[in-house]
Amino acid sequence: MNLWPFQPTSPPFPVVFAFGDQVWGGINFIGTVSAVFPVANDAFFLPFFVPKTVTVLELWWINGATVSGNVDVGIYNTSLARVVSTGSTAQSGTTATQVVDIADTVLVGPAMYYGALACDNVTATFFRGNNYLTAAARIAGAFQQSSAFALPATAVAAAYASQYAPVAGISMRATT
């Protein structure tokens, strides 16, 4: 389902977390590269906008050239409470999209949410936005958290201090 006509215009959304088959914001996925995860057990939280109520069926990310350890991908609301996550999942399949089926989860829109990705080591690689700007991430509302593997029930926001923004997202269907 294409929700592109509902692209939000304010505030800016230069993020890599993808919504279905769309990317919210100005990152060019042609510029993605495989890169090692920067800090073991850190989590990156990237905002995305849900223009209407949807049911999330799967969470996914794109593995890079080396797979190692475990990943946890999830969704948080604006109160920073975890809505759903994959739980600790072994990274599998090089340079491939890894999809994890989750319990069907309703996201009520229009609303902002955060996509989160954490990894338990610095050997694993993921595709990430190339030259992702720290300042743009901060403006968009992205944040990170140390010692956040597996993803916590409630996130504790710390300043986004990395050039790293993994490519991850949701598979969903509209419910309204």
Strands (E), 24-119: 32-36, 43-50, 54-62, 70-76, 82-85, 89-90, 97-107, 111-119
Pair of tokens at residue 162: 């990395």
Task: Let me know if residue 17 belongs to a domain.
Answer: no
pTM, entire model: 0.84
- Residue 55 in this model has a pLDDT that exceeds 50: yes
Least confident span in 11-15, 29-33, 104-108: 11-15
CATH number at residue 134: 2.60.120
pLDDT attached to residue 161: 84
Is 20 inside a domain boundary?
no
Q: Establish if 61 belongs to a structural domain.
A: yes
Q: Is 167 within the bounds of a domain?
A: no
Which pLDDT score, from 0 to 100, does residue 100 have?
Answer: 94
> Stretch 120-131: mean pLDDT, rounded?
85
Position 52 in a domain:
yes
What's the structural domain count of the chain?
Answer: 1
- With tokens 């975890």, the residue in question is 82
Q: Is the pLDDT of residue 164 over 50?
A: yes
Question: Range of 59's domain?
Answer: 33-160
In a domain, 127, yes or no: yes
Name the DSSP letter for residue 95. T
Query: Is residue 5 one of the residues assigned to a domain?
Result: no
Within 8 A by CB and 6+ apart from 52, the residues are: 3, 6, 109, 110, 174, 176
